[in-house]
Amino acid sequence: MSTDDSGKGLKGTVAGTSSICWIDGAAGVLAYRGIDIHELAEHSNFEETTYLLWFGVLPTASQLADFSKELAFARALNWRIYEFLRNVPTDATPMEVLRTAVSLLSLYDPDEKDSSHDANVRKSYRLTSQIAMIVAIFDRIRKGKTIVDPDRGLSHSANFLRMLTGTKPSETAVRALDVALILQADHELNASTFAARVIASTLSDMHSAITGAIAALKGPLHGGANAETMKLLFAIDEAGADPVEYVREMLAQKKKISGFGHRVYITEDPRATHLRKMSEDLGRSAGQSKWFDMSRKIELFVNQEKKLNANVDFYSASTYTTLGVEIDLFTPIFAMSRIAGWTAHVIEQLDDNRLIRPRAEYIGPPYPEPYIPIAER
């Protein structure tokens, strides 16, 4: 029986090759197709970053215009998806609804039976646009508001915010969302992307892989951490507690603080650097820096006490709240972003496929155990 659990959870295991995303966990570097995330966050937009992830290079101006047009053209849902969204239980969470809706989308996708490279690219356009639509439409339905039709003249982020809120979003809000989508678009073999690649490797299909990825993202150890972070900030606020004392008590009770720690980064998560600044800037310009200030106090304390750094989820919580986004939409917005990476990975997997089927180290009863007849047990 092995007592060494250093590889538990596949920690440190290299499970395959990929040319999409590179992480240096010690130096705090994240790059898509070799381009540093800081450069992309500063200069790129979600459409261009998605093009980079899918096609491996930055687009020319005309390629980007065509790509953006194609993505906007894909803003369409079969009427049965609207019916589904109208008929789900009112207490369903947006992540449950998104997971089920994406599975349903496959039944109405014109390329459902085609898993060729080109069909997978076509499905990627559709899924990227449709996931954003589903998140916005379901939120309006559950609030009893009228559905806002997509506007194909707007960027991906602007269209989403308009469909969600019913009003034309400010440039600041569009840019903030766009940067958040860029930062979360891919992250190598994180749990949900790995799940997608495992499913794709069985020669299942794109929609099945993405449904599985959404299911994996939903958990609080993965994409659900941003919502858990905000629940913590709300709880501290409601209790009128001191953030540091509150978190100190949680740590004393051996509780994990959502938004801290990472499997790969041993230094600052480079995405957190941007989200911290964004959270601060948005908070100050909205005259509502309460959530940022509280987050910063917690960050400094957890860093000092546990040597743990804030991850991508920690400051996305206060950022989204300042943008007026509801807590249970945080993880669906993460999915809206990560769909760019998931689809890139599924395409890459299927372009050079081999079944992903690892082995387990057996730690059960030694072989051969006798079969004891039931009367003798």
The residue ranges that bind ligand COA (CB under 6 A) are: 9, 221, 225, 256-263, 306, 308, 311-313
Minimum distance between the CB of residue 256 and ligand COA, rounded to whole angstroms? 4
Minimum distance between the CB of residue 155 and ligand COA, rounded to whole angstroms? 26
Whole-angstrom distance, CA of residue 355 vs CA of residue 147:
42
Of residues 212 and 259, the one with the C-beta less far from ligand COA: 259
Of residues 243 and 259, the one with the C-beta less far from ligand COA: 259
Minimum distance between the CB of residue 292 and ligand COA, rounded to whole angstroms? 18
Active-site residue identified among 36, 222, 281, 293: 222
Of residues 85 and 329, the one with the C-beta less far from ligand COA: 329
Of residues 109 and 313, the one with the C-beta less far from ligand COA: 313
Of residues 28 and 59, the one with the C-beta less far from ligand COA: 28
Whole-angstrom distance, CA of residue 262 vs CA of residue 260:
7
Active-site residue identified among 156, 207, 262, 345: 262
Q: What is the DSSP string of 211-223?
A: HHHHHHHTSTTTT
- Whether 345 is a known active-site residue: answer no
Active-site residue identified among 109, 178, 313, 345: 313
DSSP E strands: which ranges in the chain? 21-24, 29-32, 35-36
Beta bridge mates, 310: 260
Minimum distance between the CB of residue 364 and ligand COA, rounded to whole angstroms? 23
Hey, what are 234's tokens?
A: 């709300």
In the chain the first and final C-alpha atoms are separated, in Å, by 25
- Whether 274 is a known active-site residue: answer no
Minimum distance between the CB of residue 328 and ligand COA, rounded to whole angstroms? 17
Taking a C-beta distance cutoff of 8 angstroms, is the pair 63, 56 a contact? Answer: no
Of residues 54 and 260, the one with the C-beta less far from ligand COA: 260
**Cβ partners under 8 Å of residue 53, min gap 6:** 20, 32, 33, 185, 186, 340, 341, 344
Minimum distance between the CB of residue 212 and ligand COA, rounded to whole angstroms? 19
Of residues 311 and 337, the one with the C-beta less far from ligand COA: 311
Minimum distance between the CB of residue 18 and ligand COA, rounded to whole angstroms? 19
Minimum distance between the CB of residue 360 and ligand COA, rounded to whole angstroms? 18
Hey, what are 67's tokens?
A: 């790509």
**Which residue in the block uniquely carries the two structure tokens 């400010």?**
170
Nearest residue to ligand COA, scored by beta-carbon proximity: 261
What long-range pairs does 36-44 form, CB within 8 A, spacing at least 24?
37/182, 37/183, 37/270, 37/271, 37/274, 38/270, 38/273, 38/274, 40/182, 41/179, 41/182, 41/183, 41/274, 44/182
Helix, strand, coil percentages in the chain from 3-state DSSP, rounded to 5: 60, 5, 35
Whole-angstrom distance, CA of residue 286 vs CA of residue 167:
18
**Cβ partners under 8 Å of residue 159, min gap 6:** 72, 75, 132, 150, 151, 152
Whole-angstrom distance, CA of residue 231 vs CA of residue 265:
24
Hey, what are 320's tokens?
A: 């989204």
- Whether 313 is a known active-site residue: answer yes
Taking a C-beta distance cutoff of 8 angstroms, is the pair 199, 212 a contact? Answer: yes
Of residues 129 and 311, the one with the C-beta less far from ligand COA: 311
In the three-class reduction of DSSP (H, G, I as helix; E, B as strand; rest coil), residue 149 is classed as coil
**Which residue in the block uniquely carries the two structure tokens 């449904």?**
211
Taking alpha carbons only, the member of 272, 270, 230, 235 closest to residue 250 is 235
Catalytic positions, please?
222, 262, 313
